Amino acid sequence: MTALEESIRRLRRAIVLVMLGCLTFLSDLLMEFLPNIHLVAVLITVCTVVYRGWALIAIYVYVFLTALYSGGLWWLPYLYVWTVLWAVVMLLPRRMPRKLSVVIYGGVCALHGFAFGILYAPGQAWMFGLSFEQTLAWIAAGFPFDVMHGVGNAVLSVLILPLSELLNKLEGNREM
């Protein structure tokens, strides 16, 4: 592959990842009527499975679009909360048996949803000057929403493999 072809391939990948970040943002908006049920974790997992480190582009496009659209500072913990999901998926083996990968990716997405309030809490405590006890109370108050988030992620995770396979096919990858 020539240097020009490699540059074009990288530019194409970056454009696709920006589009995936926009798609993540739009899917979040479209599913806003459902409490804590959305495709964000699924799409971040798919991007990470297919694009590995490059998936951070899609994640931060999503975060910054969320910030621009919503305003305020509530989104600041998103700067690290979604990166935690990315990091866990990055630590998983690249090649897993198909049936196992369905369970593992689904489990990771579900656990991220169940733990969302705990992951978000340090940012919340910092932004609002919450004490440790207040932070624990905030986590406890949000627990029912984290349960919905985790269950929603688990259900929607059935899309991870089909979407990953589609993106791999479009990218000309043979992995998965």
Q: Where are the domains of the chain?
A: 3-171
- Cα separations in angstroms, 51 against 47, 69, 70, 134: 6, 26, 28, 39
- Cα separations in angstroms, 175 against 10, 76, 88, 115, 147: 18, 34, 19, 30, 33
Tell me: pLDDT of 175 over 80. Answer: no
**Per-residue pLDDT tens digits for 129-153:** 999 999 999 999 999 999 999 999 9
Tell me: pLDDT of 176 over 70. Answer: no
Do 127 and 73 meet the contact criterion of CB atoms below 8 Å apart? yes
Tell me: pLDDT of 81 over 60. Answer: yes
Which pLDDT score is estimated for 174? Answer: 59
Which pLDDT score is estimated for 53? Answer: 96
Tell me: pLDDT of 156 over 60. Answer: yes
